[in-house]
A and B are shown apart, each in its own frame.
Chain A
Amino acid sequence: MRHWILILALVLPSLAAAEEVVLGLSRDTVSITTSFDGSDILIFGAVKREEPIREQPLEVLITVEGPSHPVVVRRKERRLGIWVNTDSVEVDAAPSFYAVATTGPMQQVMSQTEIQRHNVTIDRAIRSVGAPMNISNSQDFTDAVIRIRERKGLYQMLEGQVSLDQQTLFRTAIDLPANLTEGVYVTRIFLTRGGAVVSSHETEIDVRKVGLERFLFKLSREQPMVYGIMALAIAIAAGWGASTAFRMMRNG
């Protein structure tokens, strides 16, 4: 038996890539509770290798991508003196959250071909099939999505934010903002050398509401009638309660 294991151990590394990612996450679920105010996720890991470290330095690129939804982008124009929504473009899928963290400048970490193959940058993550015929500069609309979400901290470009020690241990912290959408957040780690991807690894972070948040959210979707009546009952009760309390305070 021992014999067999030894053989397997000898065979496996030659089959797999020469350098591999061993990944750790500070957590693989993010619970949105009532007191949720954003969250930090620590992504760390090591490079497993069966050979001496090569001359050319290794680079690490990490992406975290939230669930994608279609988005309508509207542009305002001045009509009759007031600013009105005129043109609109529907972007087929834009991630609700997207962070890219690297060990160095983007051009140095990954070549243009690899960027396109793996769709790692934010603009590659947004899919837009095509704008209506009357809109010539549809790129402006996609840029607007990136600009607006960057401002909200939903899209993050973190060049040089991954630290890599001894060409082996890497770590980065991704800041998830408070206005997070529920769903599966896909995390990808790429090891690159000279701009080419050597190895990659993919894992998921589950972001979900829990407890009261989950209960209310589900109720509002599954039993909207009950939810609405509950909302009204609370309102009436609060109104009556305050009125009675104040009268009692006045009378004695």
Chain B
Amino acid sequence: MQIYLPIAEISVNAFLLLGLGGLVGVLSGMFGVGGGFLMTPLLFFIGIPPAVAVATEANQIVASSFSGVLAHLRRKTVDLKMGVILQVGGLLGAALGVVVFNYLRGLGQVDLLVKLCYVVFLGIVGGLMFVESLNAIRKLRKSGGTPPKKRRQRTWVHTLPFKMRFRTSGLYISVIPPILVGMAVGVLAAIMGVGGGFIMVPAMIYILGMPTKVVVGTSLFQIILVTAFTTMLHATTNFTVDIVLAVLLLIGGVIGAQIGTRIGVRMKAEQLRILLAVMVLAVCGKLALDLLLQPSELYSLGAAGGH
């Protein structure tokens, strides 16, 4: 069934969009990532204009994250206090990111920036997670199935002032690192048109030292506000949010997210992480190839004078 999208101004298959939404929704629920880093390139492939894809994706992430967070709230795997602090940083970062984005758009280098950001961050994050979870699994095997002792490392994170107790995460740390993490993710979210979960999740685990079970729910919680903010920015400045596209994606997405959350609970944290790492690396590899290989069409068309 073909459906015409009013803002994107093209006609696409409705079931294809529902399917894509569902697939990404499952991943979103499993890993606590918004799924934007997968969905946005997929939308490019089916011919949605990049500006519309990025803006609409932000809107869709709101829905799938909200659906996911409700499931996590019931299971009490959301650190609300930490989430709010991350959000504060996230909003600051998103505003900053939009300024950078608009500046580079003027130079005609936004595509490059977005792709480079993807390659660099997906590469680093994916690589680190992959190695780390492999090691964790190996250790688990050696020690005969008993989980390794959690060492409370005292790093620079624990020496900063303004300490706060995060009961759900079992942490007593300064609020500065979470705000900085939130901000960094906010900047990237605005530039890359994603929720930023794939950076947030590892940052929470490795920098803040939060337990994996809480990380997913908290990340989703933080993503909601940042992507809602991004959606509003795009809708009011670029007019590129396509509601029809968003509805189709999010119908698939919210259902997928529910399924994904249930799959995620049954899986071991290490397996979850290694799967996410493999996926992140795959997307990274594809984008890197696009930059390195000679494109079949050297020219590209863009609307003049912003819009």
Contacts and interface: CB of A to CB of B under 8 A. Distances in A.
A236 to B, nearest CB: 5
A235 B70 CA distance: 14
Contacts of A141: 299
Given A72-B303, A216-B244, A239 B62 contact: yes
A241 B254 CA distance: 9
A85 interface: yes
Contacts of A105: none
Nearest to A148: B301
B251 interface: yes
Interface in B24-53: 47
A239 B67 contact: yes
B235 A228 contact: yes
Given A72-B108, A76-B300, A180-B9, A224 B254 contact: no
B301 A220 contact: no
Contact of A144 (B246, B257, B299): B299
B255 interface: yes
B300 A85 contact: yes
B235 A227 contact: yes
Nearest to A144: B299
B272 interface: no
Nearest to B302: A72
Contact of B231 (A140, A147, A228): A228
B306 to A, nearest CB: 10
A178 B290 CA distance: 27
Given A179-B10, A227-B243, A239-B64, A145 B108 contact: no
A221 interface: yes
Most chain B CB within a 10 A radius of its CB, from A81, A145, A224, A243: A243
Contacts of A214: 6
A238 B241 contact: no
Contact of A220 (B2, B239, B297): B239
B229 to A, nearest CB: 10
Contacts of B6: 209, 212-214, 216-217, 220
A14 B154 CA distance: 101
A17 to B, nearest CB: 40
Most chain B CB within a 10 A radius of its CB, from A37, A180, A242: A242
Given A82-B291, A178-B4, A232-B59, A243 B70 contact: yes
Contacts of A180: 9
A117 to B, nearest CB: 28
A238 B21 CA distance: 13
A239 B66 contact: yes
A203 B11 CA distance: 27
Contacts of A32: 4
A238 B224 CA distance: 13
B95 to A, nearest CB: 16
A35 B4 contact: yes
Interface size class of B (residues with CB under 8 A): 35 or more
Nearest to B62: A235
A83 interface: yes
B114 interface: no
A238 B235 contact: no
Contacts of A244: 70
Interface string A202-239: 00000001001110110011001101111110111011
Interface string B137-161: 0000000000000000000000000
A243 B29 CA distance: 11
Given A235-B66, A238-B250, A239-B70, A224 B239 contact: yes
A247 B239 CA distance: 36
A88 B110 CA distance: 14
A35 B12 CA distance: 10
B23 interface: no
Interface string B214-258: 000000000000001001101111010101101100110011011
Contacts of A75: 298-299
A168 interface: no
Interface string A18-36: 0000000000000011111
Contacts of A73: 299-302
B295 to A, nearest CB: 6
Interface string B48-89: 000000000001101111111011001000000000000000
A127 to B, nearest CB: 13
Contacts of A83: 290-295
Contacts of B294: 78, 83
17 contacts: A69-B304, A72-B304, A76-B295, A76-B299, A144-B297, A147-B299, A216-B6, A216-B243, A216-B244, A220-B243, A228-B236, A229-B232, A231-B235, A235-B63, A239-B67, A242-B255, A243-B66
- A-B residue pairs, 7 tightest by C-beta: A239-B66, A228-B235, A178-B11, A242-B254, A144-B299, A235-B63, A239-B67
Given A34-B244, A83-B290, A238-B251, 8 more contacts: A37-B4, A71-B301, A82-B112, A220-B235, A224-B236, A232-B62, A240-B70, A241-B254
